[in-house]
């Protein structure tokens, strides 16, 4: 149900505009397919925290099949192995996060704890405001990502 209430970016132009137009908050983009269970769960969590993060983050959803323009550029899942990918942008810059998984470009493993996700977004925001392009995740997810 969360995917119904969160804004969807329907074209590559809309994605670009969302990233370009936000000057003071982290743009969180969930790339995925709304019909997949894991994606539905994440969308619910994102919707439930959207009000809490509104001062430092904004969430958008992008369907990989309807907007395939970024699939190759960001190495998004085209073989349906990853149910979703979360990416973070600040002032038109892709923010990297070291989760301990070896992939700093994106978050593509399950996080079911709302506070953990808020903490990650807030960490990205604080690092971005200091001019950092890479931030350390508040928690090491190396074990979580290996179990997928």
36-91 tens-digit pLDDT: 999 999 999 999 999 999 999 999 999 998 988 888 777 776 556 788 999 999 99
Q: How many domains does the chain have?
A: 1
Q: Positive or negative CA dihedral for 84, 90, 93, 99?
A: negative
Calculate mean pLDDT across residues 78-105: 89
Q: Please report the pLDDT score of residue 80 as a whole number.
A: 64
Global pTM exceeds 0.75: yes
Q: Please report the pLDDT score of residue 2 as a whole number.
A: 59
Which CATH number do you get for residue 128? Answer: 3.40.30.10
Which domain, by its residues, includes 132? 2-147
Query: What percentage of the chain reaches a pLDDT higher than 70?
Result: 92
Q: Please report the pLDDT score of residue 4 as a whole number.
A: 80
The first and second tokens of residue 142, run together, are: 């190396």
Calculate mean pLDDT across residues 11-36: 95
Q: Please report the pLDDT score of residue 145 as a whole number.
A: 55
CA–CA gap between residue 142 and residue 148 (Å, rounded) = 11
Reply yes or no on whether the pLDDT at 11 is more than 60.
yes
CA–CA gap between residue 66 and residue 58 (Å, rounded) = 21
């Amino acid at each position: 149900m969360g995917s119904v209430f969160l804004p969807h970016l329907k074209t590559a132009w809309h994605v670009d505009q969302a990233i370009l137009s936000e000057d003071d908050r982290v743009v969180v983009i969930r790339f995925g397919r709304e019909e997949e269970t894991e994606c539905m769960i994440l969308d619910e969590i994102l919707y439930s925290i959207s009000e809490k993060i509104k001062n430092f983050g904004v969430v958008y959803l992008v369907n990989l099949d309807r907007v395939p323009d970024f699939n190759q550029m960001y190495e998004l899942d085209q073989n349906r192995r990853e149910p979703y990918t979360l990416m973070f942008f600040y002032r038109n810059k892709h923010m990297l996060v070291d989760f301990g998984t070896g992939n700093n470009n994106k978050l593509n493993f399950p996080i079911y704890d709302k506070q953990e996700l808020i903490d990650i977004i807030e960490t990205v925001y604080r690092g971005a405001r200091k001019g950092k392009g890479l931030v350390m995740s508040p928690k090491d997810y190396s074990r979580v990502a290996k179990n997928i």
